[in-house]
Amino acid sequence: GGYLAASWTDTVQATLMIFALFLTPVMVILALDGIDTSLLVIAAKNPANLNMFKGLDIIAIISLLGWGLGYFGQPHILARFMAADSHHTIRSARRISMTWMILCLAGAVSVGFFGIAYFSNHPEQAGNVTHNAERVFIELSMLLFNPWIAGILLSAILAAVMSTLSCQLLVCSSAITEDLYRPFFRPGATQRELVWVGRMMVLLIAIISIVLAANPENRVLGLVSYAWAGFGAAFGPVILISLLWPRMTRNGALVGMLIGAATVIIWKQYAWFNLYEIIPGFLFASLAIFIVSLMGRAPSKAVTDRFQLAEAQFQSR
């Protein structure tokens, strides 16, 4: 159990995901007699499908780029850094993770892109995809593969969910148990008691998640984009500024997190300018951190010395 289990399961799940995302578009292309034929079918359906900027204005492009800001504030991603035994391993980890991410995203885009060609040639099989385009991978897997192979490919969806869910549950349970329950309610709690509290928190968080996901009208991308913006705007600026600016204070960090989360919630309700809410959330949270930190007392010498020591160690790699 614990972090080691999450690391091993993530490795297996990532392997399954990349296998499924590459095999599916390849099978679609073979079923359509080659990539040239697939592109012709896609162009015949709508020539704009070959234009990656179709229907995008400057606000939409900025919003899409804004997704990158979310990485800095995701607990399940930040927790991965616990696996690094020192800052020297970060460079190789960066290469591996970026390579995996590029390949997976390319595979996911290819599934959707060549799915246009397949369902254009087989409109009688496009019923579920017509009502919900997010089912394209599921439908292609069931149509193109033997049921045994399709079952393995469809488990890649669960792998994508579980790789995030396992770490999210671990982080949430640990935060509630170690940062809330023990400091404020039971300072003298035994390790056995903390373990049981952690288990109960995992169960409670799982139940809340099931309730939130029970609405059949919800779409995966919509839920993910909202959560991505909330975490990214609340925690991303704090993480980045704490690494780059030794003058940040505790109050600045706290206000920044509150402002970032509140901005995302409010912006989502009103959808001003059709701009993705993480961008104003990230901006306002950063401004709040700088303003509140400069208004308050500077951090102690012990804190600034620790910052300078960590920076010197990192630069000496």
Task: Give the model confidence (pLDDT) of 157-173 as tens digits.
Answer: 777 777 677 767 777 78
Q: Shortest CA distance to 285 belongs to which of 248, 255, 260? A: 260
Residues 6+ apart with CB under 8 A from 39: 50, 117
CB atoms within 10 A of CB 112: 14
What pLDDT, in 10s, does the model give residues 47-56? 888 888 888 8
Instruction: State residue 163's pLDDT score.
Output: 67
The dihedral built from the CA positions of residue 191, 193, 198 and 199, taken in this order, carries a sign that is positive
Q: What's residue 295's pLDDT?
A: 94
Percentage of the chain modeled with pLDDT above 90: 35
- 170, 79 contact by CB (below 8 A): yes
Using an 8 Å Cβ cutoff, are 235 and 75 in contact? yes
What's the CA gap between 144 and 289, in Å, rounded? 52
3-class secondary-structure state, position 193: helix
pLDDT at residue 252 tops 80? yes
Q: What one-character DSSP code corresponds to residue 245?
A: -
Q: Given a cut of 90, is residue 294 above it in pLDDT?
A: yes
Distance CA(171)–CA(153), nearest Å, equals 28
Measured CA to CA, the distance from residue 49 to residue 113 in angstroms comes to 8
User: What average pLDDT does the segment 136-156 reach?
Assistant: 88
User: Reduced to 3 states, what is the DSSP secondary structure of residue 1?
Assistant: coil
Q: 36: burial class by Cβ within 10 Å (0-12, 13-18, 19+)? A: exposed
More confident residue, 239 or 84: 239
Task: Give Cα 242 distance to the centre of its chain.
Answer: 21
* Mean pLDDT of all residues in 223-236: 90
Nearest-angstrom CA–CA distance, 70 and 308: 27
What token pair was written down for 40?
A: 């012709």
Higher pLDDT, 261 or 187: 261
Strongest mean pLDDT among 24-38, 70-84, 163-177: 24-38
pLDDT at 73 exceeding the cut of 70: yes
Buried b (16+ CB within 10 A) or exposed e, 138-156: bbbbbebbeeeebeebbbb
Contact of 260 with 285, CB cutoff 8 Å: yes
Q: With a cut of 80, say whether residue 231 has pLDDT above it.
A: yes
Q: Rounded distance, CA 254 to CA 246, Å?
A: 16
pLDDT average, residue stretch 185-198: 85
296: which DSSP letter? S
C-alpha torsion 157→160→164→165, nearest 10? 20
